[in-house]
Structure 1
Amino acid sequence: MDKSQFLDELRLEVGLVPDYAGTIQEFYKGVIQALGKNTIEGFSAGIYIVTDYVFCLIEQVGKGLFMEREKFGSGELSKCAIRGETTIVQYHDTNSIMAPFYDGHHLIGIINIYIPVHRYDISEEDMIFFHEVSRFIEAQQKNKYKMD
């Protein structure tokens, strides 16, 4: 399967999540589960939500380098939040893609994906895909799940 077809299948899986997720927490979990479905070996996905001065991991698939909590200002999640855009960080043998999502100008969370360097080449197409996923989350929060 080529990359375009693979990403299209992931788009479909993520797009179906609101059909069965009744709450925002179920929606977040469903998005991560959809991203984790049928992916490459060594791939992992997680979602962090902003709470009082920390990012809290609320769902993950796979065994990434996820920290359960990360204080604001102390790591790569904070750098991604400051940049306000989909970001790649390369570790020794793993790439991390982080895509923030917002409610207006307020950061709500960050999707964090770990991909083995030797198993998958990240391209502009991947960056666009993760940007689309974060915008999809924002739209669903605003329209279906109504953030307070």
Structure 2
Amino acid sequence: MRKADLLDELRAEIGVVSDRLNGSVSVKGLYRFVAKILYEKVSAYRYAGVYLTSGYQFREYCGAGFCSLMPVVPFGEGLLSMAAARGGVVREQTGNRVEIFVPFYRGHHLIGQLVVVGEPVHSVDEEDIALFCEIASLFETKVEECNP
């Protein structure tokens, strides 16, 4: 299957689940579904997860695969904080591994970040990052709809 087709299939499956958010499936259920499907469907994604803000730290809410990040990361430390400070995507390459951090917000309030770790590094490109940004935007929309 071509990569573009696979990413379109992921968009469709995630869209179907997000459309069912009417109280029976929570936004947090959407987070879990996204992490699971990204990890299961794309072999280059060694980890997919969502870190949510809690107090003055990021906490791993859900994840699939292996990630070297700690489950709790204090604000001001690491790439999660860098992405939050920049207000946009951070892509960090270490050897043959790439880590992508995509923050999502409710208004100006940081809710959390989608984190994806890919390997080999060349397997995660701008198409993937565009998908991750779309997913973060979907999270923002659903948080707003479910918490008016």
- Give the TM-score taking structure 2 as reference length: 0.89
More helix by share: 2
1:139 maps to 2:133: no
CA-CA distance at 1:127 after TM superposition: 1.7
> 1:62-99: per-residue Cα shift (whole Å, max 9, x none)?
11223100000011100000111122111222101111
1:115 corresponds to: 118
1:71 maps to 2:74: yes
Structure 1, unpaired ranges of 5+: none
State the superposition RMSD in angstroms: 1.7
Structure 2, unpaired ranges of 5+: none
Q: Take 1:88 and 1:5, find their aligned partners in 2: how far apart are those partners?
A: 23
Letter in structure 1 aligned against 2:106: D
2:101 corresponds to: 98
CA-CA distance at 1:16 after TM superposition: 2.1
1:4 corresponds to: 4
| Runs of 4 or more consecutive aligned structure 1 residues displaced over 4 Å after TM superposition | none
- State the secondary structure of the residue aligned to 1:37: helix
- State the secondary structure of the residue aligned to 1:40: coil
1:50 maps to 2:53: yes
Answer yes or no: is the 8 Å Cα contact 1:42–1:63 preserved in 2: no
Answer yes or no: is the 8 Å Cα contact 1:102–1:108 preserved in 2: yes
Which region of structure 1 is more displaced relative to structure 2, 35-44 or 104-113?
35-44
CA-CA distance at 1:102 after TM superposition: 0.3
CA-CA distance at 1:52 after TM superposition: 0.5
Q: Take 1:37 and 1:58, find their aligned partners in 2: how far apart are those partners?
A: 18
Q: 1:42 to 1:100 in 2, by over 3 A?
A: closer
1:27 maps to 2:30: yes
Answer yes or no: is the 8 Å Cα contact 1:64–1:114 preserved in 2: yes
Answer yes or no: is the 8 Å Cα contact 2:27–2:139 preserved in 1: no
Q: Which residue of 83, 89, 94 corresponds with 2:92?
A: 89
Q: Take 1:69 and 1:12, find their aligned partners in 2: how far apart are those partners?
A: 32
- Give the TM-score taking structure 1 as reference length: 0.89
- State the secondary structure of the residue aligned to 1:100: strand
Seq. identity, %: 31
Q: Take 1:42 and 1:131, find their aligned partners in 2: how far apart are those partners?
A: 16
Q: Take 1:45 and 1:122, find their aligned partners in 2: how far apart are those partners?
A: 13
How many residues end up aligned between the 2 structures? Answer: 145
